[in-house]
Structure 1
Amino acid sequence: MTTTIPSVPRIEALDALRGFALGGIFAVNIAIMANPAGFAEGPVRSFEEIFLHNRFYVLFSFLFGYSLTLQFRSAERDGANATARTVRRLLALLAIGLLHTVFLFTGDVLFGYGLIGLALLALRGLGPRSALRLAGVLYGACLLLFVALTVARMTQSPADAAQTATDNAAALDAVRAGWGEAVAYRWSDWVGRLGPTVAFGTLNVLPLFLVGLAAGKVRLFEDPARYLPYLPGVQAIGFGLGLPLSILPVLLHIPHTEALGYVSGPLLAGAYGATFLRIIHARPVVSEVFAPAGRISATVYLSQSLIAALAFTGYGFAQAGRWSDGAVLAFAAAVFVLQLVVARWYTGRFRYGPVEWVLRVATYGGTARMREHARATVSGPA
C-alpha cells in the first residue's frame, strides 16, 4: 500500500502572487547581476527606482510569512512536531542560500529568510493583532535607522565616493573572472555584509513576515469574498500615496531619499498585489500563467541566478558591465517569460521542482519513507 503525506491544499491566489513577485524581484536583481554598480543614472534606473525597487521583496516576504502558517497547519494535520519540521526546513534554506550567495549571487535572500524565519518561528504564538503591532514597531525602528543612515550619507566625502567607485570596479573584475576569483569575492562580500544583513532582516523583513503570519492566522486568502471588497481601497491608498513618494524624488533629482523607499515600498507593494488579485479573479487565465512559477518558486529564483551568472560572469560569457541598461532589463523580461512557459510545462508533469524536492526531504526529516515519497512525486507525473 502506498503511503501519502497529508497536506494543506494549495491556494491558487498565493501561488500566482508569488509567481508575479518573482518577475519583479528578477527585474531588480538583474541590475547588480549584470554590473555590481547597478544601473547608471538614466531612464532605466529612474524606472527601477519608481516602480520596482523595494516593492516585490515586500510581497515575497509577506507570502513567506503566510506560507509558514500553512506549514504549521499541515504538521498539525499530520500529528507531527511543527517546530521540528519548520526548523529543518529553515536550516535547509540557510544551507541553500549560503551556496547560492557564494557561487551565484551576492544578493541572495534565502539565507536571510532561513535565519529570520527562525525568529518568526519563535513568535508564531502571537495572535494576529499582536503580530501586527510588533511588525509596526520593528518597521518604525527600520525607518528611523534609514533616516540616520541618510543623514550620514549626506556628509559623504569625495574620498568616500571615489572608494565606492574603486570597490565597484574591483567587484566587476571579480565577477568577470573565473570560479576562484568570483567565489573569493562573493565570500568576502557576504562576510562583510552579514551583520548589516541580520540587522536589516530583523527590522525590515521580519515585520513583513509577521504581517503574513497575521494574515495566515485569519486565513485571509482562503475565501476571496473576504478580501476582494477591500482591494480597491488598498489600490487607492497604495497608488495615491506610494506613487507620489516614489516619483517626486526621482523627477526632482532629490538625493539621499532611501528612507522614503521604505515608506513607498509597502504602499506600492500592497497596491500591486491588490491589482494583481483583481486581475486574476476577473481573468483566471492570468493566474494559470503565473501560478506554476509560484509553485516552484525556489527553483525559479535560483535558476534566474544561474542564467544570469552564465550570461554575465566568468562562468559563462563574462558580459558583466558590457550591456546597456535597457538591454539588461529586456534580457530579464525575456528570461522570466521563458521561465513562466517552462514552469507551466514542468508543473503539468511533476509535483515538485528540484529545489522544492530538497526542501521537502529536509522538512520531513529525510526518512526513507519520505525520500521515497518525495522522489516519486518529483520524478513521476503529477
Structure 2
Amino acid sequence: MNQPISPSVPRIAALDVLRGFALGGIFIVNVMVMSTPGGFSDGSAHSVVNAFFYDKFYVLFSFLFGYSLTMQFRSAERAQADPVPRTARRCLMLMAIGLLHIVFLFLGDVLFDYGVAGLVLLALSRLRPKTALIVASVPFTVVVIVNTALNVLHVNMNMGAPEQAKALAAMRSGWLDAASYRWDGFAGHVPFFLMFGLLNALPLFIVGMVAGKARLLEQPERYLPLLPRIQWIGFTIGIPICVLGAFTDWPLAGPAHLVAPLLSAAYAATILRLLHRHSAVQAIFAPAGKIAATNYIGQSLIAAIIFTGYGFALAGRLSDWTVLSIAVTIYAAQLAISAWYVRRHRYGPLEWVLRAATYGTLRPARTEQPELRSAATG
C-alpha cells in the first residue's frame, strides 16, 4: 500500500544555493581522474586544485546531506508516518544508483558511500547533539591520524605506471570493456568504498544532522552574525596550511585534512553572506542545487562522452588546464540549464526516482512548484 505523502515542505533557499555551489567544486576535483587515470600530474593545476578544492567541497556536500535527512524526518512527522523505512529506502536507492554510476560512468562515485553512511546515520539519529558530535569526532580523528602517518612515512597511494596504462586503455575502449574494468575495480575494493563512507562522509553527515535538528540554516538571524568570524578563522588558518601542503613537499598533510573543513566553512559563509546581499546568488545557484543528484550524474555522463570510449576518447590527451577549463564550462552550462529546467519541472529525473523510492509511490515530475523559502525571510 502506498504511504501518504506529506504536505509540501517549504524549500530552504540556503540549502539549494550551497548545494549548487558545491557541485562546481566537486566537479573540479572529480574531473582530474575523469580525464586521466591517477589524476593530474604534478604541476600548477594539480597544486591549485589540491589547495583550494580537494577535500573542501565534498565536506560541504556531505554536511548538507546530513542536514537534509532531518527534513526527511520532519516530512514524515507531518504525514504521521514512520521516517525509518522512508529513509532506509532512500539510502538503498542511493546505493543502487551509485553502483550503476560506478560501473557505467565513474569509479570515484560517492552516492554508494552516501547510501551506506546514511543507513548508519539513521541508526544514530536519536543521539543527543553533544553525544552525536563526540561520535563524529572519532572517525574524523582516525582519518587525520592515518593521513598524517601515511605522509610522514612517504607511503605512495598513487597508481603505478602499468596500472595507469591499463586504466587508460580501459577508459578509451568500448563501453563493455570499460564497464568490466570499473566493476572489477569496485568489487576488488569494496572495503575501501565502505571505509571512505564511514570514516570521511559519516562524521560530516552527523554534524549536518545536528545543525538540521537545530534548524540553523532556516534562521538567518542566528547564523548571519557568525559568518564573518567563520570567514576570518577559515581563511586565515585554512588557506596558509592548505597552500603549504599543496605547493610544497610538507609531509604533515594530516593538519591540512584537519583544517579543510575550516576552509569549506569559510566558503559556505561567503556564499551565505552574498546570498543575503544579492538576490542573483539564489537565481544562479539554487536551481542547480535543487536537482543536485541529476547534475552530479550529468557531470559524469558529459565527462564520459568527452574523455572515454563512449565518445571522443580524449583521456590523457589534454593538458590539465584545458581539462579544468572544460569543467568550468560544463558547470556554467549546468547552472543555466538547471535554471531553465526547474521553471518547468518540480523534480530532476534522479530526484524523481529517489522520491518514488522514499515514499513508495509516484508523482508527476512536472507539476506546480512548492513554496521556496527565501534567504531573507528564512
Q: Which TM-score band (shorter chain)?
A: over 0.9
CA distance in 2, matches of 1:380, 1:208: 33
Matched-pair contact (CA < 8 Å) for 1:96–1:110? yes
The 5 A counterparts of 1:295-374 are 295-365=290-360, 370-371=361-362, 374=363
Matched-pair contact (CA < 8 Å) for 1:128–1:218? no
The farther-off stretch of 310-319 and 136-145 is 136-145
Give how far 1:139 is off.
Answer: 0.9
Question: What secondary structure is seen at the aligned counterpart in 1 of 2:106?
Answer: coil
Matched, 1:77 2:78: yes
Number of equivalenced pairs? 366
Aligned to 2:206: 210
The 5 A counterparts of 1:118-267 are 118-152=119-153, 154=154, 164-251=160-247, 253-254=248-249, 256-267=251-262
Distance 1:4 1:82, change over 3 A: closer
Aligned to 1:43: 44
| Matching residue within 366, 369, 373 for 1:379 | 366
**Higher relative helix content:** 1
Counterpart amino acid of residue 207 in structure 1 = P
Matched-pair contact (CA < 8 Å) for 1:33–1:309? yes
Distance 1:200 1:264, change over 3 A: same
Question: What secondary structure is seen at the aligned counterpart in 2 of 1:379?
Answer: coil
Matched, 1:277 2:277: no
Question: What secondary structure is seen at the aligned counterpart in 1 of 2:42?
Answer: coil
Once the two structures are superposed, residues 55-90 of structure 1 have per-residue CA deviations (whole angstroms, 9 ceiling, x without a partner) of 000000000000000000100110111001000101
Unaligned runs of 5+ residues in structure 2 are: 370-378
Matched-pair contact (CA < 8 Å) for 1:150–1:256? yes
Aligned to 1:294: 289
CA distance in 2, matches of 1:95, 1:148: 34
Give how far 1:188 is off.
Answer: 1.2
Once the two structures are superposed, residues 154-173 of structure 1 have per-residue CA deviations (whole angstroms, 9 ceiling, x without a partner) of 156xxx97x71211111011
CA distance in 2, matches of 1:18, 1:204: 18
Give how far 1:275 is off.
Answer: 0.7
CA distance in 2, matches of 1:288, 1:363: 28
Matched-pair contact (CA < 8 Å) for 2:244–2:250? no
Once the two structures are superposed, residues 308-356 of structure 1 have per-residue CA deviations (whole angstroms, 9 ceiling, x without a partner) of 0000000111010011111100000000000000000000111000001
Unaligned runs of 5+ residues in structure 1 are: none
Question: What secondary structure is seen at the aligned counterpart in 1 of 2:160?
Answer: helix
Give how far 1:192 is off.
Answer: 2.3
Once the two structures are superposed, residues 84-136 of structure 1 have per-residue CA deviations (whole angstroms, 9 ceiling, x without a partner) of 10001011000000000000000100000001100000000012222112112
Q: TM-score under structure 1 normalisation?
A: 0.92
- Share of identical aligned residues, percent? 52
Distance 1:380 1:219, change over 3 A: closer
The farther-off stretch of 313-322 and 131-140 is 131-140
Give how far 1:189 is off.
Answer: 1.1
Matched, 1:94 2:89: no
CA distance in 2, matches of 1:132, 1:201: 17
CA distance in 2, matches of 1:332, 1:94: 26
CA distance in 1, matches of 2:366, 2:279: 28
Question: What secondary structure is seen at the aligned counterpart in 1 of 2:302?
Answer: helix
Q: TM-score under structure 2 normalisation?
A: 0.93
Counterpart amino acid of residue 95 in structure 2 = L
Give how far 1:265 is off.
Answer: 1.3
Matched-pair contact (CA < 8 Å) for 1:142–1:200? no
